[in-house]
Each structure stands twice: as C-alpha cells, then as structure tokens.
Amino acid sequence: MALGDLFRLARGAFVLAREGVATAFPLPEPIPLPIRLLLGVARLIQRPAAGDRAGAERITRAVNRLGPSYVKLGQFLATRPDVVGRLMAADLSALQDNVPPFGEAVARAEVAAAFGAPVEAVFESFGPPIAAASIAQVHQAVVRDPSTGEPRTVAVKVLRPGVARRFASDVNSFYIAARLIERFHPPSRRLKPRAVVDTLARSVALEMDFRLEAAALSEMAENISADTGFRVPTVVWERTAKSVLTMEWIDGTKLSNVPRIVEAGHDPVTLAATLIQSFLRHAMRDGFFHADMHQGNLFVDPSGTLVAVDFGIMGRLGRKERRFLAEILFGFIRRDYRRVAEVHFEAGYVPGHHDVDTFAQALRAIGEPLQGHTAADISMARLLTQLFEVTELFDMQTRPELIMLQKTMVVVEGVARTLDPRLDMWRTAEPVVAEWIARNLGPVGRVEEVAGTLGSLVRLAGQLPVLARDLEAAAAAERDRNLYLERQRWSLDRLVWPAWIAALALAALAVTAVV
C-alpha cells in the first residue's frame, strides 16, 4: 500500500466531505458506529454553503475538483444503482464533464506524437478546441478527400495528456477504498466493491484507446446501414490512432435545443419516436447499443436525421438477454404476468427454488397499477426500475449488462419526453418489440434456430476425422506414459530389497562400531 495512494485517497475523502457529498444522501438504518463517527467528522469539515446545495450540485463540484478519474467514477456509478442506491445514481446521472481545455499547442504536440509527423502533414488545417471533457477534447480540422481531392471538415478527438497515468494512480486509491469497505462493512461484500473497481478500470482503459471507439462507430454503422432516421459519423481511419480519433464533422443542432429544432422545421414528436425505436432496435436486434445517449451526445442534422456521437461507452446484450427484454416488455403490454415470470426462470435469473406463481403475483403488483392510466403516463424506464427492485426479493443476481440497459433507457426516455411530453412509450415501442418477437420466437426464428443447430452439427461432422486423430494420439500418449510409469515402478521394486539389505548392513556396522 503506497504512501502516495493513501495520500490521494485521503485527499479525495477530504474534498468529498468538504463539498458536502458525505451528508447529501440518507443512509439506511441502523448506521454502524464507525460510519456515524465518520459522518460526524465530515460535517465538521463541510463548507457552510454546501448544505444549501442539492446532492447533484455537491457531487459535480467535488468530482470536478478531484479531476478526470473521479468524474469517470461518478459517471460509472450512475449505471450501478445496485451499488450506490437509486437516489445517488439519479444525481450522478446528471454529472457531466466540466473540464477546461488543455490548449491547441499541447493538442498539436499530441497529434504529432501519434502520427510521427507535424500536424500540417496530417491535416490541411487544425483549429482550437471547441469542446473539452475529462478524457479528451475535440478540435475542428480539414482534410483532403483522397478520392475527390476536395477539402472536407472533420472532428478530431485528442486524448488529454497524462490522463492514463493519472487514472492508473487514482485507481490504486479506489482499490484501497474498496478493500477497506469490504473489511469494515461486511454487508457490502455481496456487491463486490473490488469487482466494481475492476469493471471501471477496464471500461476506462477501453475508452482511452480511440481505435476501439472507432471500431464501435464502424460496427454500429454496419448494423444500422438499412435504417432510416438515425446514423453515426463516418470514421477517417487513416487519421485515427490510439490517442487521436478523426471522424466526420456533424453540422447539426443538439437535441437539448428544442426551440431551435422547431425553428429549423423538424418535428420533435417524430424525433422522439425515432430515438426510442432506434435505441430499442440497437439493443434488441443488434445486441449493441450506445450507453451514454444524453442530450449532449445527440444531434439533428439539416435533413432531420438523428446523429449520435461519443461512442466511448457501449453496451452489449447476448441473445438470452435480448429475449428476456423483449418478452418481459411484451408480457407487461399484454398483462401476461405468468409468462414474464416464466422468462425470468427460463433465463436463470431467478433461482429455481422460488415459486413461479408467487413471482408472477409480485409482477402483477407492478403491472396492475399501470392499468387505468393512459400509455403516455407510463414510464417504461420506471417499470424496469421497479422490476429490478422486485427481483432482488427473489435473489436475482446483479446483471451489469441489464442494469446498464435500464439506466440508458432512463436517459433515452427522458430525452424523448423533452421532445414530446405526451410520448406514448408503449405504442412507440410495440412495433419494434413485436417485430423482434415475430422474427426470433416465431416460425422464422425457429427455423433459423434449427438451421443454426444443423450447421453446428455439420461443422462438427467435418471436424470428426481431426478429432478422431487427436483422440488416438492422446490415447497413444497416455499408453506410452502408463508404460513408462510401469517400468519406473518395476525398476523401483527391483531396488527395494537391495536397499533394505544395504540399510541393515549399515545398521549392523554401526552397532559393531559402537560395541
């Protein structure tokens, strides 16, 4: 445990206490004595003005003082309400980067180092920073189109210098905090604090390699190539490296600016429906979705198409998770609570020792209060939140991919309702969900599933000769090994009696010598 790591941890605790974060949220009773003592110290340290601020404002001030690593930690914990609680997760969801830019000269040096050439050799022109965040900042630049020779405006994302080293140092202090939490607060061990830090470290390591973000952009572009109303920027691969990402420049209006969207002649109601349906297609059809779809990362281009940017945080769902999502949503739409319960058991999310009918009864307690309300009054995100709360009573293990999906849906639904306050989530979602159900669980899906199984059997049959040779070679090797061991055993058996005779002779000589 390095002294520097302890110092960074102590500094972080001091700043959080100073800004009133430690006392911003109620804790479940009973509060252990050590925690009460720490809270008492935190109140003594807290700024007098901090108590007048909301929890989200306290967190924002604290993490921006502590730097990029804490900003990322806060944003990451916003996706884990199972760890920090629903109230704190909601406040952390509002956390946005507010970091000053690091200057054009430094960015030019970073670009030159990434490509081994001066900036002028990489770009026709390279402007000052136009947006800055904890990990990187964005510049506008111009490149020459290789096919037409025409100049083309691009966005260049440059990694913040030293951020990887700083994050690695801060992560060590996060691990110390996680170990202390596990040691002194046994109930928290089921949440696996060290595993949470592991996930954060992996996530940010991926986010700081812009080649992987470029690959995410490319993958989603392929997935949605036939879709309308939603797209992503094109990657300029020849000017992309680990610390520099170059992509198409997006001329558009941020989704947060609704008056300007209307002034430009776009229909907010249509945009809201497109946003919801696009997100559900990405999650259910492709199993690959943008996990940070807040208003700052969404634009409307002049044609009225939604454009998403910043693909540093992505979510993935396997086929089992996609089926789970589709069937529970469809089950709630049809009020088929028994089927929703069965899906949980079939997916293995709820242990088999629980009763399906009792679980269906708990689900009915969620679904029936929705009856009698207009669909526009029902929040799909709130439904999923309540669903995960109920499943905790039935020992459903934490599923990080589903929690990330649920948190992203909360954000996406919130953005969509700013465009259309009367958004009918169920009517908007039903075509996408029904299409997935029909395509994957209907006759066509069954045929494809059988075809996939047959294809696997055919591939296995083609590999049987190779497997047979491998098994024969392994059997021969095992026979040779057994034969060798048998010979060694026989050799040792032959040596047993001579060894005993030699030992007795030596003992007799020793006795004679003594006498």
Active-site amino acid positions: 292
Distance CA 501, CA 418 (A): 96
Structure token digits, residue 321: 């998770």
- Strand, coil or helix: what is 168? helix
d(C-alpha 124, C-alpha 152), whole Å: 9
Q: Which residues pair with 300 in a beta bridge?
A: 253, 306
For residue 235, the 8-state DSSP code is B
From the centroid of its chain, how far is CA 55? 24
For 238, residues 6+ apart whose C-beta sits below 8 A from its C-beta are 146
Pairing of strands 306-308, 244-248: unpaired
Distance between CA 93 and CA 31 in Å, rounded?
26
Q: In whole angstroms, what is the distance from residue 57 CA to residue 91 CA? A: 8
Q: What long-range pairs does 331-334 form, CB within 8 A, spacing at least 24?
A: 332/366, 332/367, 332/370, 332/383, 333/426, 333/430, 333/433
**Can the peptide bond before residue 30 be classed as cis, meaning omega within 30 degrees of 0?**
yes
What are the residues whose beta carbons fall under 8 Å from the beta carbon of 435, sequence distance 6 or more? none
- Asked if 349 and 397 touch (Cβ cutoff 8 Å), the reply is yes
Give the span between the Cα atoms of 382 and 385, in whole angstroms.
Answer: 5
* Backbone Cα Rg of the chain: 30
For the record, the structure tokens of 357 come out as: 């009918």
In whole angstroms, give the CA distance from residue 280 to residue 274: 10
Alpha helices in 347-442, H assignment, sequence order: 356-367, 380-393, 400-419, 425-441
